[in-house]
Amino acid sequence: MSRTLPEPPDAGMLNAIRFGSDTFRFLEGVQARYPDGAAVPIPGRAPLVVVTNPELVHDALSRPDDFRRVPAQASAALIAENGLVQSDGPLWRQQRRIMNPAFDSRQVKTYANEVGRRVEGLADDWADRVPFETNLHRAMTQLTVRVASEVLLGEDIGPERAAQFHEWMQTAGAEFEFDLTSVAPDWLPDRISPEFREAAEGIRGLSEDIIDRRRDLLAEGDDDVNLVTMLLRAADDPDVDYPPNQIRDEVATFLIAGHETTALSLTYTLALLSWHPECRERVRDEAAALNSDSPTHDDLSSLPYTQRVYREALRLYPPAWATFRRASRPVRLGDYRVPEGAAVVMPQWSIQRSGRHFEAPTTFDPDRWERRSPTDTPAYFPFSTGPHACVGRNFALSGATLTLARLVREFDIEVAEDALDDLRITPTLRPVGGVPARIRPAD
């Protein structure tokens, strides 16, 4: 017999305010108190359901017809309304089928090797300047967005547009910041700033430029394998039905999703290595043992500790800090009833930091992934899970590992201990004001 989820003490709206104003503290409190989850009643709308049991998370995310993606807000829709990260149902299945070849093992190897080439150029630039100070998040964004645009979309957007893209993303991060409006009644209008409208227009314009150039190359007989080419070719298929601006939505989506979480996770990993020099030395020794100065996909098997470091950083600082769904009908989740319309939050942040699932949960311990398998740990899901899990997971794992090996081998990247104390909660976990870092030659 199913039952209702427990409700946290205090009035529902008060808990909703806590969720909107002190999100991580609220989630950690629910995580500590309720082993399966809790329902927060909200006046005027369906309850907020926080799932704390990873087995229930995997159950919910394996049932996309029962737990649907949350539609894009009006502000997000200005950039992309129906990209692969936002779409659901038949449209998502169509687009995933079209784009699957862009994420196969050959493309992962191409991506990793391009990362190796790009990070070699970054290392050469840093070597000419050390010692110096930089915004680490900006540097990682400019690296990853150029790789993503070239490999996924068929065009290197160049250093100037990469820098501009970082600024647009900073503006978007401020617009999407999680606050009290996130739990406000549905009838309240979205307030969209002029700065965000300008940033959204810039991202759309860049996407359209990429599409126009790929369309011209395709007409000239170019056979490069990338997402844009696949989407343009599919447009001629009578069985493919694109909504308006669908190709632009996909390009804008992958300009963002193709780089953002990797840039953030690299930033957080390098900060953690700064605070744990003994781990940094192990990464450096592993990288120094490679036969090549420029690591490639073939070197990944020789970097097991570096891979564990990256996985552990994803546990402590998951860029995708929570997965959101909405119950499409009254459904059962485990032993519990979830009402239609309930907003369902499955927080990587609090589950992956829970002592219920991890020994010494707030300790940075890369070797925990030598003692247990990430794929056999339900409480570890930094790339989400189920059919909508991150399609670029292997891109991120391979590219980030090679970047860490190359940069740590040659440089000490020093980050202040409090640099990650102020994080902006948007759809991703972003550092407010960047992450200042001092780059100097390795000792």
In sequence order, which ranges of 105-226 are alpha helices (DSSP H)? Answer: 105-127, 136-153, 158-175, 194-219
**Predicted confidence (pLDDT) at residue 341 exceeds the cutoff of 60:** yes
Quick check: 247 pLDDT over 90?
A: yes
Quote the DSSP letter at residue 65: T
Could you tell me the two tokens for 309?
């470091």
User: Rounded to whole angstroms, how far apart are CA atoms 77 and 71?
Assistant: 9
Residue entry with tokens 């670029």? 392
Continuous segment of H or E residues that includes residue 12: helix 12-21
Pairing, β 323-327 against β 343-346: antiparallel
Beta-strand pair 423-425/429-431: antiparallel
pLDDT at 42: 80
User: In percent, how much of the chain has pLDDT > 90?
Assistant: 76
Those residues whose C-beta lies under 8 Å from the C-beta of residue 98, and which sit 6 or more positions away, are 230, 231, 234, 240
Q: Is the pLDDT of residue 206 over 70?
A: yes
More confident site: 315 or 223:
315
User: Helix 260-275 and helix 393-410: axis angle, to 10°?
Assistant: 40
Residue 298 DSSP label? G
| Distance (Å, whole) CA 273 – CA 136 | 13
Map tokens 């992450």 to a residue: 435
Task: Please state, in angstroms and as integers, the Cα–Cα distance from residue 141 to each residue in 203, 281, 320, 405, 430, following that order.
Answer: 15, 25, 16, 17, 12
Retrieve residue 40's tokens: 């927060």
Query: Mean pLDDT throughout 196-201?
Result: 94
What is the tens place of the pLDDT at every residue in 115-169? 999 999 999 999 999 999 999 999 999 999 999 999 889 889 999 999 999 999 9
Domains held by the chain: number: 1
What are the φ/ψ torsions at residue 46 (nearest 5 degrees)?
Answer: -65, 160
Residues of the domain holding 185: 3-441
Give the Cα separation of 294 and 296 in Å (integer).
Answer: 7
Q: Tokens 């129906």 belong to which residue?
A: 82
The residue-averaged pLDDT of 270-298 equals: 94
Which pLDDT band holds residue 11 (cuts at 50, 70, 90)? low
The predicted pLDDT at position 185 comes to 47
What was the pLDDT predicted at 46? Answer: 85
Kindly tell me the burial class for residue 159, based on how many C-beta atoms sit within 10 Å of its own C-beta (0-12, 13-18, 19 or more).
exposed
Total length of the chain: 443
Kindly tell me the sign of the dihedral angle through the C-alpha atoms of 337, 341, 342, 343: positive
Torsion angle defined by CA atoms of residues 10, 14, 15 and 17, in that order, rounded to the nearest 10 degrees = -170
Does the structure show a pLDDT above 80 at 258?
yes
Residue 219: CB atoms within 10 A of its CB come to 9
For the chain, what is the mean pLDDT? 91
Residue 71 CB contacts under 8 Å (≥ 6 apart), including other chains: 86
For the stretch 370-418, pLDDT in tens is: 999 999 999 999 999 999 999 999 999 999 999 999 999 999 999 999 9
What CATH number corresponds to the domain at position 362? 1.10.630.10
Q: What is the pLDDT of residues 301-332, one digit of tens each?
A: 999 999 999 999 999 999 999 999 999 999 99
